[in-house]
Structure 1
């Protein structure tokens, strides 16, 4: 009866359910060759306790053992994990949106004198969050600090949705030096895109050399995927020149952030 209750309890309600969850995750990460000692060390219990939990998980059909020291999570075990993971995701979302969101403080740029406690309207321009006195905009907040025009001001208690378009990234793959480097690129194929971009970013020495060959002065010389993604998320259009080895990482980050991008062919 107790085991059945633990099986149905959420991982935030039962220490036993939480431990079962961690052990199943540990098996899924390591299967089929699973070290009970490694799992024990990871979650802070004894190897004997892991063995006892494993026996119960096998009996319930959540884990199967095709051989000594070999364990695999079954479909039933995966389904149980998914259910508990969805529960955790909902709880984290509640904390982020309903709890932390109520006390979250963002930084904006004051467009006019702002007094602490004053209602402000928020807007995104030039990739910068801006606060204007008065609650007339579609997105409002309350200032938690005072600020002169052009200075940073803390804001909280947000209402409404910030209305602005995400930026777009025009990505250019630059060969590694051993594959020809910047000399293998026809700069005319991407130089014209700079006029339509808010920022020019380079990632890698070959990319910087290609920018210079096209008479472009990069705004961001060390363009990390995080920096480029953040700039686009703030509404800036970016021309990104990246060494071929680094470009896929940038594109993965853009896809994860739902940022539009296109890749320009620069082959001569």
Structure 2
């Protein structure tokens, strides 16, 4: 009997047309056994009935298939083991393609600051928390456009080179007391307006925080999912003012620490 493990390593399904056909025939037999119509197998995999007959003779000789009479075949334990080994190889190859090949052909989206043509090299920058692409390779970070775009439109980019340089944002957190401790009434609206003027984004967490922002005539940019949103905004270079009810503040600071985002907690209470 042949050394099937060694044969599998040397002549895997992906390396041998013969083994690819044997693999398909074994699968068809396993699905149809014990009554196997060679013409149906041939039609299923796109070869002649004579070729199926020839391959069956070889599979029987290799102890992968047993013949029990006219038109009656069964895959042996050795045949099942060989199918499993080849299937594992295919599974590993598919994983390699999906993770190492396709995963590297990653397409991101940017805003085109100039007209961009598909296939053109673009320079990348980060502004207002959004990736920007400009035609040409003058920047320290470049990519290749996979779509056409007019200036101001969205453009798909891939094949990234270099690093997009920008400063991480910071977060200024204002703890708003719970309503039982005075809530928004303890907050100085003028102080909130001063703070908001120095930040790119305003986020609120909790009803007391929302009321404090409203009393200061401020319109929040973020009201829901604020912990993740604040962390993401800061990592994209935006300075964020966070108004959070005291009971919710720790969830936000935990998220910021995990994301290595710089933050400070300030007092905005009435004098």
| Corresponding position: 1:218 with 2:201 | no
Give distance in 2, aligned partners of 1:263 and 1:96: 44
Contact 2:174–2:267 (CA under 8 A) maintained in structure 1: yes
Structure-2-length-normalised TM-score: 0.60
Give distance in 2, aligned partners of 1:217 and 1:239: 12
Give distance in 2, aligned partners of 1:154 and 1:190: 39
C-alpha offsets along residues 153-172 of structure 1, whole Å, 9 cap, x if unaligned?
11111110110000011001
> 1:139-178 counterparts in 2 under 5 A?
139-178=141-180
2:123 aligned residue: 121
RMSD between aligned alpha carbons? 2.2
Which deviates more, 106-115 or 211-220?
211-220
Flag the structure with larger Rg. 2
Give distance in 1, aligned partners of 2:202 and 2:158: 32
Give distance in 2, aligned partners of 1:221 and 1:232: 16
Secondary structure class of the residue paired with 1:146: coil
C-alpha offsets along residues 91-150 of structure 1, whole Å, 9 cap, x if unaligned?
xxx999965662111110011111111100000011110000011100000111111111
C-alpha offsets along residues 76-96 of structure 1, whole Å, 9 cap, x if unaligned?
xxxxxxxxxxxxxxxxxx999
Q: 1:109 to 1:134 in 2, by over 3 A?
A: same
Q: CA deviation at 1:191?
A: 2.9
Contact 2:184–2:208 (CA under 8 A) maintained in structure 1: yes
1:252 aligned residue: 254
Give distance in 2, aligned partners of 1:136 and 1:96: 32
> 1:73-222 counterparts in 2 under 5 A?
99=101, 102-222=104-224
Secondary structure class of the residue paired with 1:182: helix
Give distance in 2, aligned partners of 1:258 and 1:100: 30
Give distance in 2, aligned partners of 1:236 and 1:168: 7
Give distance in 1, aligned partners of 2:98 and 2:258: 19
Q: 1:235 to 1:101 in 2, by over 3 A?
A: farther
Give distance in 1, aligned partners of 2:228 and 2:161: 27
Q: How many residues align?
A: 175
Give distance in 1, aligned partners of 2:229 and 2:265: 18
Structure-1-length-normalised TM-score: 0.61
Contact 2:192–2:213 (CA under 8 A) maintained in structure 1: no
Structure 2: gaps spanning 5 or more residues: 1-95
Contact 1:189–1:265 (CA under 8 A) maintained in structure 2: no
Structure 1: gaps spanning 5 or more residues: 1-93
Q: CA deviation at 1:223?
A: 5.2
Secondary structure class of the residue paired with 1:241: strand
Q: CA deviation at 1:178?
A: 2.4
Give distance in 1, aligned partners of 2:187 and 2:121: 52
